Chains A and B, each alone.
Chain A
Amino acid sequence: MEQALSDVRVLDLTRYVAGPYCTKLLADYGADVIKVEEPGSGDPSRRMGPFFQDEPHLEKSGLFLHLNTNKRGITLNLKSETGKKLFQKLVTRVDILVENFSPRVMPDLRLEYEKLERLNPKLVMTSISNFGQTGHYRDFKASELVLYGMGGSMNDTGTIDRYPTKKGGRVIQYQAGTIAAVATMLALLSSRAQGKGQHVDVSIFESQMASIDRRMSQLLTYQYNKEISYRMDLEEERAGFPVGIYPCQDGFFHIAGGYVFWPRIAQMMGRSDLAADPGFSTPLGQREPENLERFNLIWYPWITERTKSEIVAAGQAAGVLCGPVNTTEDLFHDPHWQAREFWVEIEHPVTGKVTYPGAPFKMAETPWRVVRPAPLLGQHNEEVYRELGYSKEDLVRLREGGVI
């Protein structure tokens, strides 16, 4: 079957996380993505863990392998004049160019949009940067942590008695990559329809300021009522019982109870006799400390005897909103994701077969598909440069000149 983006060609200068996730989305749905890396060293994420069998190696980074599936990889020294020429040739053959250097880099290389546009008027160029291509903070340095603190609702992440905390892993950069894929597709649609490309400016900072994970609502709460949001103590956040995260036999689970859902909680525990108990099923009853004590005496023995999957199955059967606090190991063994064939095994020349996260969505007509693993450094030099019309001898000279 054909894929949704089979006719789309992408030149990919991105590194680290945000840019590569954007182009991974394009590549996994069929676009021909040519990833351009610096000769010798490549994308810095090749030197970031976790590594296959914990062995640091340019071809064994799990981060890199995950983020670069389905891309063809070439090396190119953009600082050399010959390299620039090759790059400009490539630009004329693609629909989309994505880069996530700091904003000064492309102009310093004399490869800014205004110049590339003259070579290819339909070109969509997406630039992803920490703060955007313009503005007061344009040249500021940032990190996953700094960007979440400035852009996202970090002021409301954690508890009030302690310091604010970040989200897990590098999700802020992944999110910016996802947003960049949306923006890039919009520019591609209008380029195809109207014959003109344009420059898309994605700021990770603004992608968080415009995030639906609390931020926009809280900004509006301030506009409407001059109220600031703050981190709560756990009791305040989880008013009522049972609400929040609780321990059980093999880990933790998350549950939404309170007086509203009390009858379902009672049913979940096989204690329908308590469903109408006013100490549990009314707002005032739930505020009395003695009722919380009574509840705890019933609740803790019940949960500590059960596994998280047993509790969640019982809860779901009773219509309770709940979920297990899964580890990556739990995820991998979960029957639901197995039934949906979410996990994919990908064969790679250096690591052999490894399991990866699969399709973020399933299109009925145009599937997500793995055609090739992440490229080895410079793996497709010959293939791609031959497509540009260079001979084997030319390639040898380019290699000797440090261009590729």
Chain B
Amino acid sequence: MLRRLVAATALGSAIALLFVSTTTAQTNYKVPRLADGHPDFQGFWNNTTYTPLERPKGIDREFFTREEVVEQMKRAAVDEAEQTTPGTVADVHYDFTQFGLDRSQAPLSVNLRTSLIVDPPDGHFPPMTDEGKRLNAARAEARKRAGAITDAAQNQPLSVRCILMDRDGPPMLAGAYNNNYQIVQAPDTVMILVEMLHSPRIIPTNGRPALPASIRQIEGNSRGRWDGDTLVIETTNFTDMFMFAFQGASADMKLTERFTRVSDDTLTYRFTVNDPKVWTRPWTAEVPWKKGVGPIFEHACHEGNYSLTNLLRGAREDEKRAREKKPASN
């Protein structure tokens, strides 16, 4: 335990240093370029953050002070190091710090923002439309009708089923761990390999027309273009086949992601969700991606999904025991 606290304190200091280096903006930064003249974003990146998507209740500022952020991150690092009790089953299975999976050990995307949402300026989702409310009420109703979350595999979130990490979207947001990405740029194609679920996003940048509206995909259909030195990716053709959609969006969501390299070790990732069916106005979030460490290993989630099997089996076993315990009522 002591060792972990020491480690966490050391991490706290490392965070402070990292923080200073990220805020010393490279104002005269000259972005490296590829043979075709476009900025070079290639390499391994990590978008781990402690900043919530929506501004927490009780905070009405856009930014924290530097001292506040350093203090928060130190505290978070200590909390993560203490999340399990050594020698317990939980410790064996879920001690992220042991495997370097906790956020404090990742190349952190530090920023002073109180929320990733930058627009609306209050850091909150815009109000939902009536249609959006109806759509999400219908989804909630469908979930309820489907029964308890342990009744069937299909009642579980997509991440537990190894279909899509809800956070990876697109848009790509950080989860608790494995927030690693590799970008490769070939002429006419940018590929972003998302570590979680070995999800390959292949983005043509050659003006290829979008798919017909009748083709729907879980991760949508992405098209890229360059706006000066910014890579702009527009994604449409999302599916409505799941009960768990990105933050309540509809299948008609149009997502615009923008990547800009602002320093040697930072990409600014900014995305706008435009879904007039669900929200009264578009909303935008921004998070820095830090230079990460490669390589990315194969994340064969579905192939090793013992947890879903065990979770369902456990629920059936509980029901069986409950039936056996209960005295016959008739």
Q: Do A and B bind each other?
A: no
Binding site for B on A (CB under 8 A): none
| Chain B positions near chain A (C-beta within 8 angstroms) | none
